[in-house]
Amino acid sequence: MVDGVALFVVGLFLAWFFCRMGAVLDYRWEWGTIPSYILRRNDGGGWVPNLLLTGFFTTVKLSFWATLLASLIGVLTGAMRAFGTPGQKFLGWLYVETLRNIPALVLVFLFYFFISSQFLDFLGMDLWLRTRSDTTRVMVAFFFAGEAQINAFFSAVMTLAIYEGAYVTEIVRGGLVSVSHGQWEAARASGLTEFQAFRHVILPQALRKILSPLAGQFISTIKDSAIMSVISIQELTFQGMEIMAATFLTFEVWITVTLLYFILTFSLSRAVAVIDRRTVKF
């Protein structure tokens, strides 16, 4: 009953919104143009992703690699914050407090223009990729980006991972310290080394407690990836701005972009909810 009422209210709001747009702003909706920016026909007559869908896939790749790296940073730094030496705890604290008190946009510019541009240019990944076989270039473009965007893509991944890693660190630290000290003593008494006790006893228990907060942080990573449009990463927000500038279909484009983001984040939240229920049962 409650769900039905909520859907009815949302439907009324959307109907009111579209009516007001037409009446007040004299806005002419042109939804028929949007599908052509999602899929297009190639020279062979088949359907291939167009700007919005390629931007969606770039967002998925960017968020996936940034989440993976942020998780690694968060687990290592969270363990340092929870069980490390005083020096390790201080370094973990310094990392977390510094990153959490810098605006993400400022960090993007600092990292891209003053750090990664020099480091990645020195590595010459784009030049290396241009000399590889077609198969290698296709594989790298599929999992990461093409040679024209590879440096900027890795810069975006590292920046986003370092930023999100600070938040993951605190989530992991909270989960680790919530495991009772008796679990450590029992693991050590059974003959496990300190690392084995952490890996096989403490970390699995902590992960069950932090799964939901981690899911929320991973969803934030997807949304924060939109910031990378400022360094011309051709993800979903960047492609949306390009299409809007070319067509002036402001509301159609941004509503479509919003729906694509929602599909991605809602799917992730549902998947985590299923895993969470199975973990609780176990």
What is the spatial distance between Cα 241 and Cα 11, in angstroms, rounded to a whole number?
27
Q: Are 100 and 167 in contact (CB under 8 A)?
A: yes
What pTM was estimated for this model as a whole?
0.86
Written as tens digits, the pLDDT of the chain (282 aa) is 656 777 778 778 777 776 766 666 666 778 888 999 999 888 777 888 899 999 999 999 999 999 999 999 999 999 899 888 899 999 999 999 999 898 888 888 888 877 766 777 677 777 788 888 888 888 988 899 888 888 888 889 999 999 999 999 999 998 888 888 788 778 777 888 877 888 888 888 888 888 888 888 889 999 999 999 888 888 999 999 999 999 888 888 999 999 999 999 998 888 877 877 776 555
Going by the DSSP 8-state scheme, the letter that residue 231 receives in this structure is G
The per-residue pLDDT for 277 is 74
pLDDT at 24: 62
Burial bucket for residue 91 (CB in 10 Å: 0-12, 13-18, 19+): middle
Look at residue 250 in the predicted model and tell me its pLDDT: 85
Copy the structure tokens of residue 87. 């020096």
Q: Which three-class secondary structure state does DSSP give residue 34?
A: coil
Q: Are 157 and 225 in contact (CB under 8 A)?
A: no
Output Rg (C-alpha) for the chain, integer angstroms. Answer: 23
pLDDT at 22 (0 to 100): 62
CB neighbour class for 166 (10 Å; exposed up to 12, middle 13-18, buried from 19): buried
Q: How far apart are CA 228 and CA 72, in angstroms?
A: 21
Whole-number pLDDT of residue 281: 54
Instruction: Quote the distance between the C-alpha of residue 110 and its chain's center.
Output: 20
Specify whether the CB–CB gap between 175 and 75 falls below 8 A.
Answer: no
pLDDT value at residue 23: 64
Residue 10's alpha-carbon distances to 5, 16, 21, 43, in angstroms, are 9, 10, 16, 42
The CA distance from 138 to 154, in Å, is 17
The pLDDT of residue 70 is 94
The reported pLDDT for the residue numbered 12 is 82
